[in-house]
Amino acid sequence: MLHNRLLLTGFPLVAVVRQGITEATEDMVQQLVDMIDAALAKIQTGTEVLHRDVLSISKELVDGSKRSGQQQVEMMTHLQTVLGV
């Protein structure tokens, strides 16, 4: 009944509802884009940290190759513990 009266008075109810849906959809899409951007930033940071760790471990392995056999075994055990292997 109210809808019919609004249409008869020229109130564009359908246009208002469509606009509301469009705005809500745009807001949801923007929130999703923001969440994806944040996740990508975390992945980038994690990748940089991982790369830095790999370089550090590689350097330790090179340095370790210059050490005695027992020290190398200790270093490998430590690296396996750090890497969770």
Tell me the pLDDT tens digit for each residue of 30-69: 999 999 999 999 999 988 988 888 888 888 887 767 766 7
pTM: 0.48
pLDDT exceeding 70 applies to what percent of the chain?
Answer: 76
The domains of the chain are located at 2-83
Cα–Cα distance, 12 to 27 (Å, whole number): 23
Query: DSSP readout, the chain?
Result: -HHHHHHHTT--HHHHHHHHHHHHHHHHHHHHHHHHHHHHHHHHHHHHHHHHHHHHHHHHHHHHHTS-HHHHHHHHHHHHHHHT-
pLDDT exceeding 90 applies to what percent of the chain?
Answer: 20
